[in-house]
Structure 1
Amino acid sequence: MMTALKSRAAIIITNETAIALIGMYCMAVVMGFGRFLFTATLPDIMTQLPLSTTIAGWLASINYIGYFIGALIAMFVPQRLTWRMLILWTIVSVITTMLLVVPNMSLNLWYIVRLLSGIASGIAMILSSSFVIQSLSDERRSVLSTVHYAGIGVGISASAILTWWLLSLGYHFEVIWLVAGIIGLPVLWLLYAIRPVDAMAFELGKDQASSIRQTYRNFKRSLYEAIVGHHKAIALLLASYVLAGFGYITSATFLPVMAAQRLTTEACAGLSIWLVVGIFAMISNPIWGALAKRIGEVKTLMGLTLLQALGMYLPIGIDGPIGLYGNAMILGLTFVGMVSMTLTIIKNINPTYSNLLIGLATLAYALGQFIGPLVTVALAGDNDNFNAGLLVAAIGLLIGLVLVFCFWRQIKVGKSSR
């Protein structure tokens, strides 16, 4: 019996660097593959099925609706169940990725799979962030959290490379999604290896099981305690985050399609440009993390928002590859940084309720992402011209910048009045 317990304990990973790297792998699977592989494979999907731009926009948006629902679910997850729910929804993410290998799948099934994939991404993104970051010591948290969030960029780069490689071998999106799912399988064992020490000893007894009504009451009380005294600042930050989600998603969904439209002489232009996004997303977080330590997260977030607004305008103002590659570089540099800065800021408002506050922020971001593709498709018209969508995205980001500035003023006033 003692030997079995020692054997079980032996596979628990406690090294903080290893935990951050496992978090990075998890983010690459649930975000890089679960969400952004769709962007990499979209030109091939539209050709093979074939799909109109409108249907492609709805498939993107249904995934973001799922992300919204996932964020909502994550807000109700008690801290003690974070790891268990993370494992469950990472499994769902891997399965829904592999399901797209099914031949001749109806459009309705596509919507269901992409919805479930979005739910899994939303829950796993929030819970992995909460679980991994809370597992890190205070002195190493700021550095290693950037490793965790770099998983989004790693996943985007991997999605571009995987798609490029398999398309060059003559395969199409179905095989690409299957291979991506297989690549994601080992993360399940690694997440098991970083479980809390007492995870296996936990049993859900009758005295611990809560009714739906009691869960709702607990949620209302937690929500009140999380935002009390900070409601104005949180409202401003959430409103800015809606616009951040709205602002970046036009490029994050349609950039490879824009590249295929405009760079007709370049083979695999869409994938090379998507790879640029992933590479710059990977290297961005350490840069912005170091800057945030010098000037603070809020000022860093304001700079990132302004830079991303400029990036959205580049394909409009500069014709040819320079505008598109410039957009890709800035998108990669900014969007992961904006996510990590915003989630760090809102979590630090009240760390006791980090799951709930990160969930609120992710709800806001998902709302913007849901609206973005629909607006872009509506503005694209019959000619599939994305310039109007990019311009509206840039304007949205500038309004978001003003809201972040107002948030900064609000928290300064709050600190001075204490």
Structure 2
Amino acid sequence: MSPATRLLVAGCLAMVVAMGIGRFYYTPMLPLMQREYGFDAAVAGLIASANFGGYLVGSIAASMLAPGVTRVWVFRLALIGSVATTAAMGLTDSTPMWIALRTLSGIASALAMIAGAGMVAEALAKIEEPGRIGWYFGGVGLGILVSGMLAQFAGGLSAAQMWLLAGGIGVLLLPFIFRELIERELEPRPHRASAGRRRPRPLRLWPLFVNYTCEGLGYSVFATFIVAIVKARPQTEAIGDWVWVVVGLAGLPSTVLWTALAERFGFAVSLILAYVVQIAGVLLPAASGSGLAALAAAVMFGGTFLSITALTLPLGRHGAGGRGFAVLTAGFGAGQMLGPVIAGYMVTLGYGFRAALYGSAAVLAFGLAVLIYGVVTRTEAPGAVAT
């Protein structure tokens, strides 16, 4: 493999560990944990929000990182922390301990994701291949796929054993990641002429910040509760774990496909389209209780939520003195911290998940409107091609 390919593979596997498993494994584990430990939707939302709150703290801390040796070591320690907190979930049945562990896990996920994304994006930008960052974020989809398959095929294990198994998988992946994902200079590859390829042109930070904050709040309800929602319906209970597998399958190639679409039709236009598809996906399980609707929603959600991040990164990373992505991720973290808590209490108060899904779709629609405003009012540079 070429150095660039090894860097991307390591980045992909880092996202499997820190995000696909460390951050999103809680979703397929939630029904099993509720069955074994007996906690309600409000507690489930609180545990999820603790992780998202930690993600916010980690995002703020990551905004202070500069390129160099420190960033590499923060990245490595964050991955170790993600693996350790994942495994430790299987060593306790205490709700306060779960909250503490998920908070630390969120901090580790954000630090690993942002530090890793910075190293990969900067290396790719220097060889004029920024679109390949999609392979990095595709690791989240691969991790979600792995977590869903674990939940599907390790059904004889207890919740504690499942958490320990996931932590063990992370340990096995760390040596390769640590060896290959470092600050490095890549050799440019020969390029074929690509006169029609669009390049990302930054948007103003404030509309992108509002938009991405709404994405955090709106997406988090689906991302946290979709498996529990599907399993709670008698007609779809059997496909609950498969829904999460489908989310991962759809997410795996999505960032590469959406980036290719963006390079052809424009990054901002593609980002708007991704939001339209995601909103439809969030509305589907609210509007219909059928298994087909649940699977279609999984495809639409899985096929967009990673791509929205991959398309937002190049549009916003130059803001705030070059720390735009960390600032945007902090807004995203604040939004997603609220989503599961609000949804959990809505269910506890009797409104149900359907109302929560409608509410999250409305938040996403508002964020989309702000994004469109930011695109429409963007000042065009002379001779620029709209993206």
The TM-score normalised by the length of structure 1 is: 0.83
Q: Give the AA of the match of 1:249.
A: S
Report what 1:171 is aligned to.
157
Judged with a 3 Å threshold, the aligned counterparts in structure 2 of structure 1 residues 369 and 337 are, in CA distance, closer, same or farther, namely same
Query: Greater Rg, structure 1 or structure 2?
Result: 1
Report what 2:363 is aligned to.
396
**1:213-243 Cα shifts (integer Å, max 9, x gaps):** xxxxxxxxxxxxxxxxx9x920110000011
User: In 2, are the aligned partners of 1:74 and 1:127 still within 8 Å (CA)?
Assistant: yes
- State the 1:286 CA deviation: 1.7
The partner residue of 2:255 within 262, 266, 285 is 285
Q: Give the AA of the match of 2:121.
A: I
**1:245-292 Cα shifts (integer Å, max 9, x gaps):** 11111110000001111145643x221111111100112112101100
Gaps in structure 1 of 5+ consecutive residues:
1-12, 199-229
Q: Give the AA of the match of 1:307.
A: V
- State the 1:50 CA deviation: 1.5
Aligned-partner Cα distance in 1 for 2:364–2:337: 16
Aligned-partner Cα distance in 1 for 2:157–2:12: 28
User: In 2, are the aligned partners of 1:263 and 1:320 still within 8 Å (CA)?
Assistant: no
Report what 2:74 is aligned to.
85
Is the aligned partner of 1:407 residue 2:377? no
Of the structure 1 ranges 60-69 and 256-265, higher mean CA displacement relative to structure 2 is found in 256-265
Report what 2:316 is aligned to.
346
Q: What is the root-mean-square deviation of aligned Cα atoms in Å?
A: 2.2
Q: What percentage of aligned pairs have identical amino acids?
A: 28
Following superposition of structure 1 onto structure 2, how do residues 52-201 of structure 1 map, counting pairs within 5 Å? Answer: 52-80=40-68, 81-103=70-92, 105-136=93-124, 138-139=126-127, 141-167=129-155, 170-194=156-180, 195-196=182-183
Report what 2:337 is aligned to.
370
Aligned-partner Cα distance in 2 for 1:285–1:122: 19
Aligned-partner Cα distance in 2 for 1:147–1:358: 18
User: In 1, are the aligned partners of 2:317 and 2:324 still within 8 Å (CA)?
Assistant: yes
Report what 1:255 is aligned to.
226
Report what 2:188 is aligned to.
none
Of the structure 1 ranges 182-191 and 338-347, higher mean CA displacement relative to structure 2 is found in 182-191
User: In 2, are the aligned partners of 1:142 and 1:289 still within 8 Å (CA)?
Assistant: no
Q: Give the AA of the match of 2:317.
A: K
User: In 2, are the aligned partners of 1:61 and 1:374 still within 8 Å (CA)?
Assistant: yes
Aligned-partner Cα distance in 1 for 2:245–2:83: 22
- State the 1:323 CA deviation: 2.2
Of the structure 1 ranges 311-320 and 34-43, higher mean CA displacement relative to structure 2 is found in 311-320
Aligned-partner Cα distance in 2 for 1:308–1:330: 6
Aligned-partner Cα distance in 2 for 1:263–1:286: 36
What is the SS of the residue equivalent to 1:79? coil
Question: How many residues are aligned here?
Answer: 366
The partner residue of 2:301 within 306, 311, 331 is 331
Report what 1:272 is aligned to.
242
Aligned-partner Cα distance in 1 for 2:159–2:380: 51
Judged with a 3 Å threshold, the aligned counterparts in structure 2 of structure 1 residues 410 and 186 are, in CA distance, closer, same or farther, namely farther
Aligned-partner Cα distance in 2 for 1:107–1:33: 20
User: In 2, are the aligned partners of 1:53 and 1:384 still within 8 Å (CA)?
Assistant: no
Aligned-partner Cα distance in 2 for 1:138–1:278: 30
Aligned-partner Cα distance in 1 for 2:150–2:341: 28
What is the SS of the residue equivalent to 1:51? coil
Judged with a 3 Å threshold, the aligned counterparts in structure 2 of structure 1 residues 299 and 349 are, in CA distance, closer, same or farther, namely farther
Judged with a 3 Å threshold, the aligned counterparts in structure 2 of structure 1 residues 366 and 55 are, in CA distance, closer, same or farther, namely same
- State the 1:361 CA deviation: 0.9
What is the SS of the residue equivalent to 1:35? coil
User: In 2, are the aligned partners of 1:305 and 1:338 still within 8 Å (CA)?
Assistant: yes
User: In 1, are the aligned partners of 2:318 and 2:324 still within 8 Å (CA)?
Assistant: no
Aligned-partner Cα distance in 2 for 1:372–1:177: 24
- State the 1:92 CA deviation: 0.5
Q: Give the AA of the match of 1:19.
A: L
What is the SS of the residue equivalent to 2:154? helix
User: In 1, are the aligned partners of 2:235 and 2:291 still within 8 Å (CA)?
Assistant: no
Aligned-partner Cα distance in 2 for 1:384–1:326: 24
Judged with a 3 Å threshold, the aligned counterparts in structure 2 of structure 1 residues 265 and 292 are, in CA distance, closer, same or farther, namely closer
What is the SS of the residue equivalent to 2:240? helix
Is the aligned partner of 1:236 residue 2:203? no
User: In 2, are the aligned partners of 1:263 and 1:321 still within 8 Å (CA)?
Assistant: no
User: In 2, are the aligned partners of 1:157 and 1:279 still within 8 Å (CA)?
Assistant: yes
Aligned-partner Cα distance in 2 for 1:242–1:373: 14
Gaps in structure 2 of 5+ consecutive residues:
186-201
Judged with a 3 Å threshold, the aligned counterparts in structure 2 of structure 1 residues 358 and 315 are, in CA distance, closer, same or farther, namely same
Aligned-partner Cα distance in 1 for 2:289–2:95: 35
Report what 1:301 is aligned to.
271
What is the SS of the residue equivalent to 2:157? coil
The partner residue of 1:361 within 303, 328, 338 is 328
Aligned-partner Cα distance in 2 for 1:310–1:55: 28
Q: Give the AA of the match of 1:292.
A: A
